Chains A and B, each alone.
Chain A
Amino acid sequence: SQTIHQWPATLVQPVGSPLSLECTVEGTSNPNLYWYRQAAGRGLQLLFYSVGIGQISSEVPQNLSASRPQDRQFILSSKKLLLSDSGFYLCAWNLRGLSEKLFFGSGTQLSVL
């Protein structure tokens, strides 16, 4: 069966520090991979999605970047965090070629202080 792992669950970082959040998927090949951000009490904002290794599409210009070094690995990064980067970050996947349901990770609560 397919599983998605996202870590860490909670992260507190000072302003100006770097960020690296990792997400891996098991039990499937060639997934579409997504990073979403959820501000408190708000819906989900799509940040990045990837349909293959090295292929990254950015939906919102911001202080963040994403990379996909392996088929089932998706990384969200920042060189210098801003206060506005605080939020709940969710990784998700679905099957390539289908705009069907998403499977989400358990999320990372990021607090930038």
Chain B
Amino acid sequence: DAGVTQSPTHLIKTRGQQVTLRCSPKSGHDTVSWYQQALGQGPQFIFQYYEEEERQRGNFPDRFSGHQFPNYSSELNVNALLLGDSALYLCASSAPLAGGPSNEQFFGPGTRLTVL
């Protein structure tokens, strides 16, 4: 089992550009969550996808959008990049909701985005 995979590993963009990050969940998982981790900070929840729909959203502007495909993989899109969007973007997948932390979220290695 490859676990949660993310691509690309690193990305450098300039202000105003758009970026797409990709995530493949762990085998058997159908729910994908995205988190942003700024340097020296804990991860912050962006949104969660289940059954190809956004189920909950954190305190992030509409420039952040996502998508989930029928095979449960997911994309995170960020438009009109700002310097402050530089961070490690983490994808986490979890199994069908069983309640409580038994529904553990497994994290991928992240994509490090640098905005110049």
Do the two chains belong together in a single complex?
no
